[in-house]
Amino acid sequence: MTETANMHQIAFIFPGQGSQAVGMGKDLAEKYPIARQTFEEADEALGYKLSQVCFEGAEEQLRLTETTQPAILTASIAALRVLEDRIPRPSFVAGHSMGEYSAHVASGTMSFADAIRTVRNRGKYMQEAVPVGVGAMAAILGMELEKVDAVCQDAAQGEVCSPANINSPEQIVISGNTAAVERGAKLADERGAKRAKLLPVSAPFHCSLMKPAQDRLEADLNKLKMQRPVYPVACNVEASFVSDELRARSTLAAQVTGSVKWLQCMQLLIAQGVETFVEIGPGKVLCGLMRQIDRSKTCLNVGDEASLTKTLQQFEITAAAGS
């Protein structure tokens, strides 16, 4: 397909933790040598059969943070490699939390093997930063950011409680010490949130309790060979574009303790004229969030053979309409 078929700006977006499922990537790996090769590269980089965990489970193993993160990255890059020569190039890329590493691989900032090893360590460091039970996260639905901020401040009482994921106008996740997050969820309920619920997570991600993990990850990132990104990457922590390797390093490190400003990242891309978003990797979480952010935008997803076929058809229809 030619570049002229691209009527609007396109952004590739990549999912983070929570989108994993046993069987992810399996049908693409069976049908496309490039996808199979991607899983083989991951197995080699990690020194164990990550592909087997992705394709067959067990689910408990796939849910471990240090397995989940490289697994989603690998499934995402396998799907990307199958897709990328078949549709127009993106103008921008972005990824949700750990998905930002997939975005940097897509943009050529870091090699796939380096990214795989880095996110494995990232998962491990995040898991080890806080003893089990000390931290928690809760989803606050139907409450605007200013009110959630106020809830966090009032709930903290000398502990940590802060917005961790600003996912959409409808959904904000808070993170911190268990008691503070429980107080926050209760306060949000009392102050008119549609719903506030504690999440089944293994650690309080994206808050200041993760500082030990950030320090360890920063040391790893500083050792990596990185290039200037081919496509600007909308980074979570600042909701701004990263177009050089120094900022790629610093924003990826800061992201461990910083909020994931997904809503603001998507608004940034929309302001740049992006009309079509392609979620690449397992699940459709980001397309669901886009419906809450701006229903007028097209969000397609590619995670398996069926969704790949559907997305390619959509691009053919758009190209035909524009010719």
Ranking 98-107, 195-204, 290-299 by mean pLDDT, the lowest is 195-204
Q: Does this model's pTM top 0.75?
A: yes
pLDDT of 1 strictly over 80: no
pLDDT of 54 strictly over 70: yes
Task: Please tell me the predicted confidence (pLDDT) of residue 318.
Answer: 79
Task: Please tell me the predicted confidence (pLDDT) of residue 323.
Answer: 60
Closest C-alpha among 110, 106, 111, 117 to residue 249: 110
Quick one: three-class SS letters along the chain?
A: CCHHHCCCEEEEEECCCCCCCCCCCHHHHHHCHHHHHHHHHHHHHHCCCHHHHHHHCCHHHHHCHHHHHHHHHHHHHHHHHHHCCCCCCCCEEEECCCHHHHHHHHCCCCCHHHHHHHHHHHHHHHHHHCCCCCEEEEEEECCCHHHHHHHHHHHHCCCCEEEEEEEECCEEEEEEEHHHHHHHHHHHHHCCCCEEEECCCCCCCCCHHHHHHHHHHHHHHHHCCCCCCCCCEEECCCCEEECCHHHHHHHHHHCCCCCECHHHHHHHHHHCCEEEEEEECCCCHHHHHHHHHCCCCEEEEECCHHHHHHHHHHHHHHHHHHC
Contact 183, 158 (CB under 8 A): no
pLDDT in tens, 126-161: 999 999 889 999 999 999 999 999 999 999 999 999
* Model confidence band, residue 309 (pLDDT cutoffs 50, 70, 90): very high
pLDDT in tens, 219-249: 999 999 999 999 999 999 999 999 999 999 9
Give the Å distances, CA to CA, from 5 to 1, 30, 88, 89: 7, 30, 7, 11
pLDDT of 312 strictly over 90: yes
pLDDT in tens, 94-117: 999 999 999 999 999 999 999 999
Q: Which residues belong to the active site?
A: 97, 206
Percentage of the residues of the chain whose pLDDT score is greater than 70: 97
What is the spatial distance between Cα 154 and Cα 59, in angstroms, rounded to a whole number? Answer: 38
Closest C-alpha among 252, 262, 308, 264 to residue 288: 262
Closest C-alpha among 76, 79, 92, 23 to residue 51: 23
pLDDT of 52 strictly over 60: yes
Task: Please tell me the predicted confidence (pLDDT) of residue 9.
Answer: 93
Task: Please tell me the predicted confidence (pLDDT) of residue 46.
Answer: 97
pLDDT of 170 strictly over 60: yes
Q: Which CATH number fits domain 7-129+209-322: 3.40.366.10, 3.40.50.720, 2.60.120.10, 3.40.50.300?
A: 3.40.366.10
CA angle 134, 221, 78 (to 5 degrees): 90
Percentage of the residues of the chain whose pLDDT score is greater than 90: 92
Average pLDDT, rounded, for the chain:
95
Residue type, 10: I
Contact 169, 184 (CB under 8 A): no
Contact 83, 314 (CB under 8 A): no
CATH number of 135-201: 3.30.70.250
Task: Please tell me the predicted confidence (pLDDT) of residue 85.
Answer: 93
- Residue span(s) of the chain under CATH 3.30.70.250 come to 135-201
